[in-house]
Structure 1
Amino acid sequence: MNIKEVTAQTSVPASTIRYYEKEGIIPPVNRNSANVRDFDDHAIRRIDFAKKMRDAGMEISTLKQYIHLFDNVENSEDQQLAMLVEQKRIMEEKRDKMQKAIDHLAYKIENFDSHMLTVESELKSVAQDKK
């Protein structure tokens, strides 16, 4: 499969795929007789994994470390698991912060007429009195 087809299948831009190959996040991709990259299923699965981890907020350096452990270090399962657990913790923390912000906005929207307009009016009065 060529890079255009992989891009269509994975929704990962060609430039990102080439970067992943350069950085060792995906294995070196074989080339056909016309010197065009010819992606196999392993490379496509790795691209999908990298996309999911990046979407989850995993830093490139952490992703590279994880891939290195996976590909090159025997008995590294505990380290790999620890990295995934930590990434999940980071994501949950971000989710919780985002949920608090969403809840706050929902409150402001629900109480816009009864609370927000009053508070904003009082703040404007205070600001004008200071001038």
Structure 2
Amino acid sequence: MTITEVSKKFDLSQDTLRYYERIGLIPSIKRNKGGIRNYTEEDCRWIEFIKCMRNAGLPIEVLIEYVTLFQQGDGTIEERKMLLIEQRKLLVEKMESMKKTIERLDYKIERYEQWVVTSESELKR
């Protein structure tokens, strides 16, 4: 696949894809004889993984560390697992915090709705 096709498939700019490659978030993309990037299915799986993790809020530095460990081979499996466990823990904490914020917002919204109903009934009197 060309960079244009991959860009459209994953809704990422071509600049973002080049940046991810440059900083090591995705392995170097092979190029055809004309120097055009030729993304493989494996490359696309990396992009999908990185996009998913970034959307969840994982820092680029953590993802670079993960990719670097992955490229070092099976001897880093335990380190990669621990890295993912730590990131999962942080995401769960973030979700709990967001859940509390949503509950607070729901409470505030309900209070405003009650205020509107009360105000409307007083106007009718």
With normalisation by structure 1, the TM-score equals 0.81
Q: How far apart are residue 33 of structure 1 and its match? A: 2.5
Q: SS of the residue aligned with 1:111?
A: helix
Q: SS of the residue aligned with 1:43?
A: helix
Alpha-carbon distance change, 61 to 113 in structure 1, aligned in 2, over 3 angstroms? closer
The residue identity in structure 1 corresponding to 2:25 is: I
RMSD (CA atoms): 1.8
Alignment of 1:1-131 (within 5 A): 1-112=1-112, 114=114
The residue identity in structure 2 corresponding to 1:65 is: E
The residue identity in structure 2 corresponding to 1:82 is: M
With normalisation by structure 2, the TM-score equals 0.85
Q: How far apart are residue 12 of structure 1 and its match? A: 2.0
Output the CA distance in 2 between the equivalents of 1:43 and 1:114.
53
Q: How far apart are residue 73 of structure 1 and its match? A: 4.2
Q: Percent identity?
A: 35
Summarize deviations over 1:83-123 as a string: whole Å, max 9, x none: 1111111111111111111101111111225469xxxxxxx
Q: SS of the residue aligned with 1:67?
A: helix
The residue identity in structure 1 corresponding to 2:3 is: I
Output the CA distance in 2 between the equivalents of 1:36 and 1:66.
27
Query: For structure 2, which runs of at least 5 residues remain unmatched after alignment?
Result: 117-125
